[in-house]
Amino acid sequence: AQSVTQPDIHITVSEGASLELRCNYSYGATPYLFWYVQSPGQGLQLLLKYFSGDTLVQGIKGFEAEFKRSQSSFNLRKPSVHWSDAAEYFCAVARPAAGNKLTFGGGTRVLVKP
């Protein structure tokens, strides 16, 4: 069975600084990979996704992620964080040909200092 690990439970970053969130997955082949963001009291919003092709994926809100097959990683980055980026971020995987079932990591809560 696939699994997803987000090693950092909390990250605190200063506004304007760069941000990198780590995600490692365990799966026999290359899964579909996703990053979602959840603001307090809200549902999940898709930031970006990777299915195949270029390993550097651009998403919304200035986020990007890089798929590294050799490291089974899909880390999320943002060059300059805004206060509105404070939220919880989830990495998720889906098995190809398994429909819409997503397996999520435990999440990383991002706090932004002024």
The binding site for other proteins (CB under 8 A) comprises 32, 36, 41-46, 49, 51, 90, 92, 94, 96-107
Cβ within 8 Å of residue 79, ≥6 positions away: 18, 62
Cβ proximity to other proteins: between 16 and 96 the closer is 96
Q: Which CA distances in Å does 94 have to 15, 84, 87?
A: 32, 28, 23
Smallest distance, other proteins to C-beta of residue 101, A: 5
Cβ proximity to other proteins: between 51 and 83 the closer is 51
| Nearest in space to 20 (alpha carbons), one of 32, 33, 35, 31 | 35
Cβ proximity to other proteins: between 15 and 44 the closer is 44
